[in-house]
Amino acid sequence: NKLWGGRFEEGVHESVERFTESVSFEAEELWAHDIRGSIAHANMLAAQGLITEGDRDLIIEGLGKIKTKIETGEFVWRKDREDVHMNIEAALTDMIGEPAKKLHTARSRNDQVVTDIRLWCRDAIDRILIRIKQLQTQLVLLALRNDGLIVPGYTHLQRAQPVLLQHLLLSYVEQLERDAGRLINCKERLNFSPLGACALAGTGLPIDRLMTSQELAFTAPLRNSIDAVSDRDFVLELLSANSITAVHLSRLGEEWVLWASEEFGFIIPSDSVSTGSSIMPQKKNPDPMELVRGKSARVIGDLISLLVLCKGLPSAYNRDLQEDKEPLFDSVKAIIGMLEVTSVFAANITFNGERIRSSLPAGYLDATTLADYLVKKGMPFRTSHEVVGRAVALCIAKKCQLSDLPLDDLRGINSIFEKDVYDFLGVENAVDKFTSYGSTGSSEVQKQLQFWCSKLEITGAE
């Protein structure tokens, strides 16, 4: 009963059929693209006289009915029909008979499946791009809602310098913008039509690859039929792009999980994005961001699966490539979920301004500003670094902040200090002093915020 069974005398072993079937995981994802591709192919076959217009109409009508059946859940996917392509073609044959047998003219499953996957990836990229923009928008809105809030900037998870929360949030917006850029490049590179490459060598039948390419909104047909059916580099590229996005989101996840801890206490997630404990009644956990961090692992695992899969395969199509689909579907599903839930989380957290402000004196966040003060007075930077280092050591001994040191103490370290030094101490002063392009200074951050509001078409507060 296989559509390829002509030379076979024996049925396929049941365990082999089970092991090799792909319909169970691909049908739901690929059926729409498969039908779309078949319609384009049928139109071309008719235009080229390879099938009659009557056959074409029957085929297209039949495919339309199958589409409806699938959408309404009436269609029965059969594992003994192996894959999504054979299921649809066999159902069409059951429905319209002879003309259906002409649909596969000048086509192989090799070019058919890769056409489906390219169409699917193109759609997937569009779906991801929308979520990236949504998350960027939520991050900017969050920034707008927290105007003027200073938070500690960290390096090595040690307090480093004071930064505006807005500045920090926009750093994630920048990263997401590059993530989008990678996807756009990937989409441009993959949007070429393999249809008509057939098994691997093309065909001698008078097909028109340009026509199907155009109907399916591809940029052009791929130039080399062997390349068309054998390479999956576009999937690798998409999964790489997803992995980088996942790493970005895992870092945001890590930050927000940290910030929601008792010790940091910087953010308060609403109940709607928290979960509790089955044993500890007091717990309120930032689960969604933990899972965002966690799901980055599967996105990376999916990429590795595909790299390992393709490594060392001999030329043209190998059945191994059937394994490209699950990692692809899984990666895209995960990244979309991660982006969505991060957006929801961003919309449902409150920054605990009071707690943050009261914690700011700790950590000598103004030490570098003090060093800059000394540089402005003409001291070489390395010397100023050492001088401030000594001032910090004094503060540790006296358990006080830099701004608490009396001028005499400072002048005891170095006589260069003058009364104006106090204009440089304290986190508000420190933030005020930043002026360089892209820095955390208020006016710089304001400009960046406006840039992003405009780019993301945000017209102000929510």
Smallest distance from a copy of itself to CB 36, Å: 19
CA distance linking residue 75 with residue 123, whole number of Å: 23
Smallest distance from a copy of itself to CB 220, Å: 10
**CB nearer to a copy of itself: pick between 314 and 460:** 314
76-105 positions binding a copy of itself, by CB under 8 A = 82, 85-86, 93, 98-105
Catalytic entry in 24, 270, 277, 358: 277
Contact status: 224 vs a copy of itself (CB under 8 A): yes
**CB nearer to a copy of itself: pick between 156 and 419:** 156
DSSP 8-state assignment for residue 100: G
CA distance linking residue 335 with residue 327, whole number of Å: 12
Query: In Å, how far are 66, 102, 189, 309 from 83, measured between CA atoms?
Result: 15, 19, 27, 20
**CB nearer to a copy of itself: pick between 33 and 231:** 231
User: Does residue 111 contact residue 216 with C-beta atoms inside 8 Å?
Assistant: no
DSSP 8-state assignment for residue 79: G
436: its two tokens = 């360089």
Segment interacting with a copy of itself (CB under 8 A) among 23-31, 73-81, 129-137, 280-288: 280-288
Contact status: 434 vs a copy of itself (CB under 8 A): yes
CA distance linking residue 197 with residue 212, whole number of Å: 12
Segment interacting with a copy of itself (CB under 8 A) among 24-32, 59-67, 125-133, 362-370: 362-370
31-60 positions binding a copy of itself, by CB under 8 A = 50
Contact status: 174 vs a copy of itself (CB under 8 A): yes
Contact status: 161 vs a copy of itself (CB under 8 A): yes
Contact status: 24 vs a copy of itself (CB under 8 A): no
Contact status: 399 vs a copy of itself (CB under 8 A): no
Calculated CA dihedral for residues 108, 109, 114, 119, nearest 10 degrees = 100
351: its two tokens = 């920054």
Neighbours of 51 (CB within 10 A): 21
370-389 positions binding a copy of itself, by CB under 8 A = 370-372, 375-376, 380-383, 385-389
Instruction: Using CB under 8 A, pick the residue from 26, 293, 410, 421 that binds a copy of itself.
Output: 293
Contact status: 401 vs a copy of itself (CB under 8 A): no
Contact status: 218 vs a copy of itself (CB under 8 A): no
| CA 233 from centre of chain | 18
112-151 positions binding a copy of itself, by CB under 8 A = none
**SS3 string of 205-253?**
CCCCHHHHHHHCCCCEECCCHHHHHHCCHHHHHHHHHHHHHHHHHHHHH
Active site residue 277: yes
Smallest distance from a copy of itself to CB 334, Å: 10
Contact status: 248 vs a copy of itself (CB under 8 A): yes
How many residues in the shown chain lie near a copy of itself by CB under 8 A? 204
Report angle CA 227, 233, 237 to the nearest 5 degrees: 155
Q: Among all residues, which ones are annotated catalytic? A: 156, 277
